[in-house]
Structure 1
């Protein structure tokens, strides 16, 4: 259900029966950049996320969620192993509080 941004882009590309080169031309980006994004070694810009959504009529929300969740995982993985669970719990509590506050 949850996949990385790169996996999502690869899925969109394959669903459209496009090669990496063909998709990169549609998006007006270098194919090596798109390959790195698919391999999860580069993060997309906000502009590229918008272009993908527009060109392939794909949910902008899903693209943003995939991109931001990748960044959160990357950030969490850089933390000390013995604190990862506590960091994640703290993060989730802060998000819950923020959502609650915003809905009031």
Structure 2
């Protein structure tokens, strides 16, 4: 099966589609050495995200192992993660750096 999505970090709950995906099409990506698949429940545009796990309303979307923001509604596996259901949450980067030190 041809890879048509990329997982950036093993903790991510989304993958990025590297082709336009039609509703009902199989999305194929690698999680480390494991090849994983899921069925798109709606059309996903090129370079957009698809949920690989159910995310509850107010849950975090994780990409690159980092939070991109929180969901404004529940997003089920196989659905498009977009500006319509994801909102940014300001971060306190200075405090995060202090915690690492």
**TM-score, normalised on structure 2?**
0.31
Q: Pick the structure with greater CA Rg.
A: 1
**TM-score, normalised on structure 1?**
0.31
